[in-house]
Amino acid sequence: MALAIRELGDRRYVGDAAKKIVHDRWHPDCEDCLMDDIVASGDAVGFEPDELDQAFYEGYEYCEDCFDRGTPERPALPGQPA
Ligand SMILES: [Zn+2]
């Protein structure tokens, strides 16, 4: 289910409830997506679970800036081999 969020925290997928678009914060191009503005305007939603399928299930479309340009690399996690 979608939840209104006031902080992005470590969520990967953040939806813009006004436009029904979901952003992938792991994607390098997503800095241009004005996440702070979405949060400031109160339109930011997170997904539970924090998965793309959940966003699609709730009727969100992916953002063309942060999807469709290849698969983003998962940020390295401590303790995992490169
Ligand atoms: Zn985006």
15-35 per-position pLDDT tens digit:
999 999 999 998 887 777 888
Instruction: Kindly give the distance from the C-alpha atom of residue 15 to the centroid of ligand 1, in angstroms, as a whole number.
Output: 9
Instruction: Kindly give the distance from the C-alpha atom of residue 38 to the centroid of ligand 1, in angstroms, as a whole number.
Output: 11
Task: List pLDDT tens digits, range 24-79.
Answer: 998 887 777 888 899 999 999 999 999 999 999 999 999 988 876 555 566 665 66
pLDDT number for residue 69: 54
Instruction: Kindly give the distance from the C-alpha atom of residue 62 to the centroid of ligand 1, in angstroms, as a whole number.
Output: 8
Contacts 24+ apart (CB under 8 A), 63-69: 63/21, 63/22, 63/23, 63/24, 63/30, 63/33, 65/23, 65/27, 65/29, 65/30, 65/32, 65/33, 66/23, 66/24, 66/25, 66/27, 66/29, 66/30, 66/33, 67/24, 67/27, 69/27, 69/29
Indicate whether 10 belongs to any domain. Answer: yes
Indicate whether 50 belongs to any domain. Answer: yes
Range of the domain at 31: 2-62
pLDDT number for residue 75: 61
| Ion ligand 1, residues whose Cβ is below 5 A away | 23, 30, 33, 63, 65-66
Indicate whether 80 belongs to any domain. Answer: no
pLDDT number for residue 80: 54
pLDDT number for residue 78: 60
Indicate whether 78 belongs to any domain. Answer: no
